[in-house]
């Protein structure tokens, strides 16, 4: 699905001091990304602290982003979980008319084997909706192996893409080598985004990209165009800050940058907490050189 190519950003959910959703800051964040070259927006991903939002808040966040975006950028909606039938039901009952696809994380905590993972996505595919598989073993406790991804991609054309965030870059390359025509792979790891794009990937669903949309989208476009040296110049400029934002977990690091840029306020909902003073200062110092 070529419309989802380049840099998609997994938007944070800004909060006020009383931890209510800060819709004014959310407007600023969406406009900032639209104005600075982001290719598409990912709504209610992990970075959005979606696990701590109520059903009503999720609806309000979705409605607000749809309204502010006003059809300017393609949208992707996160709907995932570890109860397959419940996830299927949610997909079927959600109005997806404003969205290009669903981003659905593999089941966490239950630790299904490869056949269980296959059956999970087979069930989701039966909805007929366009779905992006999301493999992030560091969060789910289980890896979707390359062979399982390829099996799903070949059998279900509406499983259109994988957001791959396995720690082993060779797994990305195996999928890129064996995937069927029309199935896309994007990096789910900001640091792997450029090498994966150069190897034939379609870009990245990024966390850091929402803070540096111009730089990150330029880097990925250079990668898509095969301009390796120029792309790596930007990659090398951003690599330290990319590592720093994940040092104490996500999204505490990215919220520091967005706060320093005056786009949001620095609040998170428990069990997440704001970055330590030490990390905050390191991020601030690194920002000064970008």
**Annotated binding-site positions:** 47, 205
Annotated active-site residue in 88, 129, 163, 255: 163
Cβ atoms < 10 Å from Cβ of 36: 16
**Does the active-site annotation cover 134?**
yes
Burial of 226 (C-beta count, 10 Å sphere; 0-12/13-18/19+): exposed
Binding positions for pyruvate are 47, 205
DSSP 8-state class, residue 101:
E
Burial of 229 (C-beta count, 10 Å sphere; 0-12/13-18/19+): exposed
DSSP 8-state class, residue 50:
G
Quick one: tokens of 102?
A: 């669903």
Annotated active-site residue in 32, 134, 212, 267: 134
From the centroid of its chain, how far is CA 130? Answer: 16
**Does the active-site annotation cover 118?**
no
DSSP 8-state class, residue 290:
-
DSSP secondary structure string, 218-271? HHHHHHHTT-HHHHHHHHHHHHHHHHHHTTT-TTHHHHHHHHHTTSS-----TT
Between CA 248 and CA 102 the distance in angstroms is 28
Residues known to be catalytic: 134, 163
């Amino acid at each position: 699905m070529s419309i989802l190519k380049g840099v998609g950003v997994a938007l944070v959910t800004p909060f006020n001091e009383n931890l209510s959703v800060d819709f004014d800051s959310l407007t600023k964040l969406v406009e900032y990304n639209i104005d600075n070259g982001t290719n598409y927006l990912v709504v209610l991903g992990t970075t959005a602290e979606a696990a701590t939002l109520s059903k009503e808040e999720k609806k309000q966040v979705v409605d607000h982003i749809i309204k502010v975006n006003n059809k300017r950028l393609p949208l992707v909606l996160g709907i995932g979980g570890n109860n397959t039938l419940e996830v299927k039901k949610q997909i079927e009952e959600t109005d997806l008319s404003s969205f290009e696809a669903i981003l659905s994380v593999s089941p966490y905590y239950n630790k299904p084997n490869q056949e269980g993972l296959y059956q999970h996505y087979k069930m989701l595919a039966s909805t007929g909706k366009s779905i992006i598989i999301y493999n992030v073993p560091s969060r789910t406790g289980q890896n979707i192996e390359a062979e399982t991804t390829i099996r799903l991609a070949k059998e279900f054309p509406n499983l259109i893409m994988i957001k791959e965030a396995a720690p082993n870059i060779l797994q990305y390359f195996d999928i890129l080598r064996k995937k069927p025509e029309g199935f896309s792979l994007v990096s789910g790891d900001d640091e792997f985004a450029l090498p994966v794009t150069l190897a034939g990937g379609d870009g990245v669903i990024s966390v850091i990209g929402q803070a540096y949309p111009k730089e990150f989208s330029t880097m990925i476009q250079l990668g898509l165009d095969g301009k390796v040296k120029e792309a790596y110049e930007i990659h090398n400029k951003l690599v330290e800050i990319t590592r720093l934002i994940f040092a104490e977990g996500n999204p505490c690091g990215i919220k520091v940058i967005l706060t320093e840029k005056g786009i949001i306020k620095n609040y998170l909902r428990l069990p997440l907490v704001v970055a330590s003073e030490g990390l905050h200062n390191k991020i601030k110092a690194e920002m000064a050189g970008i």
